[in-house]
Amino acid sequence: ALVPDLSGVRVLITAGGTREPLDPVRYLGNRSSGRQGFEIASVAAARGAQVSLIAANVELPTPAGAELVRVETAEQLRQATHAAAKDADVVIMAAAVADFRPVTTVEHKIKKSEAAPEPVELVGNPDILVELVAARDAGEFAAVVVGFAAETGDQTGDVLSHGRAKLARKGCDLLVVNAVGAGRAFGQSDNAAIILDRDGRETEVPFGPKALVAAAVCDAVVSRLNR
């Protein structure tokens, strides 16, 4: 039987991938399906958590017991996440957020022209995870903050050292590091991860169903909550 070790804990999860519009029909996006975030939502709810999901462009059934808000762009995800974080005990940032967005969104569909196409000018999006950690550290709310890192390094050592550096840079409590690329993780039902805790603990989750990674993420969250 499942242990209700997240009973009454308010868990906010972002999932999916943001889309940054170029015109009414085109966007810059990424390959995130939202599966890993939705699995975490299912597992956390089954373990007793009160789950809120912020889903960016996810085409999956809503996990039982989760409350769902849909967003499209990084800015919408940002607004929704900041608003909801105030009522959360745990924030899990599983969404793949676009690092850049087009400077302008053209009002009408961009025409195929005879001339060379206009270059797309991009501007950086704020790092929501870094903003959340800053707000938490400033005392605006108290929550365990979990980040994700999709790394494409081909050697495990690579992935790990990038992960450790990212954990320090982002200032979150836990970082879930995945190796992506070449058909791995994005859109698949299986995943492997290394969960880094800021106290130095590292948990390796071997390649397997995303539900197993989700369970390991919940275990790491429980151990942070019980500190």
- The candidate with the shortest Cα–Cα distance to 106, out of 17, 216, 27, 48, is 27
Q: Per-residue string for binding with ligand C5P, 116-145, x by CB under 6 A?
A: ---------x-xxx----------------
**Closest Cα partner for 66 from 18, 16, 10, 17?**
10
Count other C-beta atoms under 10 Å from residue 74's C-beta: 24
**9 vs 150, beta carbon nearer ligand C5P:** 150
Q: Is 109 annotated as a binding residue?
A: yes
The residue (of 100 and 207) whose beta carbon lies closer to ligand C5P is 100
Whether 30 is catalytic = yes
> Smallest distance, Å, CB 97 to ligand C5P?
4
Q: Which residue in the set 148, 180, 196, 217 belongs to the binding site for ligand C5P (CB under 6 A)? A: 148
The torsion defined by the Cα of 89, 12, 84 and 144, in degrees rounded to 10, comes to: 40
Quick one: CA dihedral 180, 183, 184, 186, positive or negative? positive
Answer yes or no whether residue 93 interacts with ligand C5P by CB under 6 A.
yes
Query: What are the residue numbers of the active site?
Result: 30
Residue ranges at the known binding site for CTP: 99, 109, 126-129, 148, 166, 170
